C-alpha cells in the first residue's frame, strides 16, 4: 500500500473573492468547511416477512454548507471583515486545496453570509478574530488544472 500524501495545514486556505480577484485570508490560522446533508426518513416493512423488524430508508432532501475561519487580527483587515459582516448580499469565497489534480487538489467556490464576527483579546495580548459563516447556494468543487 502506498503511503498517503498528508495535507499540511498551509495547503488548505480561504480566499475572499471580491471584485473578481481572490485574496488570501492570510490572517486565518484555522479554517473549517462543513458540508451537511438533510434527510427525510421512512420505516419500510418487509412485505415478504411481516415479523421482521422494519428498516429505515432515507431520502436526501437538501444540502447546506458553512464553517469558520479564525486567527490573529491586523487592523488593516478589520474593514474587510466588517464589510462582509454588514453585507446584505452574499460574498464570494474560495476554499483551496493547494495540490495538483492527481494529488486531490482543487477548490470549493461559493457565496457566504457572515453569521458571527467576533474579535477578542486576552490580558493585553494579541487581538484574535473568528468568522462563522453560512453558505448561500451551491458549493462547487473545481479540480486543480
The domain that holds 83 is classified in CATH as: 2.40.10
- Whole-angstrom Cα Rg for the chain: 20
| Total domains in the fold of the chain | 1
Evaluated on CA atoms 135, 140, 142, 143, the torsion sign reads positive
Contact 64, 135 (CB under 8 A): yes
Strand partners, 40: 59
Report if residue 75 sits inside a domain.
Answer: yes
**pLDDT tens figures, 17-72:** 988 889 999 899 999 999 999 999 999 999 999 999 999 999 999 999 999 999 99
Predicted TM-score (pTM) of this structure: 0.85
Among 96, 113, 128, 74, which Cα is nearest to 23's? 96
The parent domain of residue 80 ranges over 9-36+64-143
Mean pLDDT of 103-119: 95
Report if residue 46 sits inside a domain.
Answer: no
Report if residue 44 sits inside a domain.
Answer: no
Report if residue 135 sits inside a domain.
Answer: yes
Can you tell me whether residue 86 is helix, strand or coil?
A: helix
Amino acid at each position: 500500500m502506498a503511503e498517503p500524501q498528508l495535507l499540511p495545514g498551509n495547503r488548505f486556505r480561504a480566499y475572499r473573492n471580491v471584485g473578481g480577484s481572490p485574496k488570501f485570508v492570510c490572517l486565518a490560522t484555522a479554517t473549517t468547511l462543513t458540508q451537511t446533508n438533510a434527510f427525510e426518513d421512512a420505516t419500510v416493512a418487509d412485505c415478504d416477512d411481516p415479523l421482521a423488524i422494519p428498516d429505515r430508508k432515507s431520502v436526501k432532501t437538501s444540502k447546506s454548507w458553512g464553517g469558520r475561519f479564525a486567527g490573529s487580527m491586523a487592523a488593516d483587515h478589520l474593514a474587510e471583515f466588517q464589510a462582509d459582516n454588514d453585507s446584505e448580499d452574499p460574498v464570494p469565497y474560495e476554499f483551496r486545496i493547494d495540490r495538483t489534480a492527481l494529488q486531490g487538489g482543487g477548490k470549493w467556490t461559493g457565496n457566504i453570509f457572515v453569521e458571527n464576527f467576533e474579535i477578542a483579546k486576552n490580558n493585553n495580548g494579541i487581538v484574535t478574530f473568528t468568522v462563522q459563516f453560512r453558505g448561500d447556494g451551491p458549493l462547487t468543487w473545481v479540480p486543480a488544472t
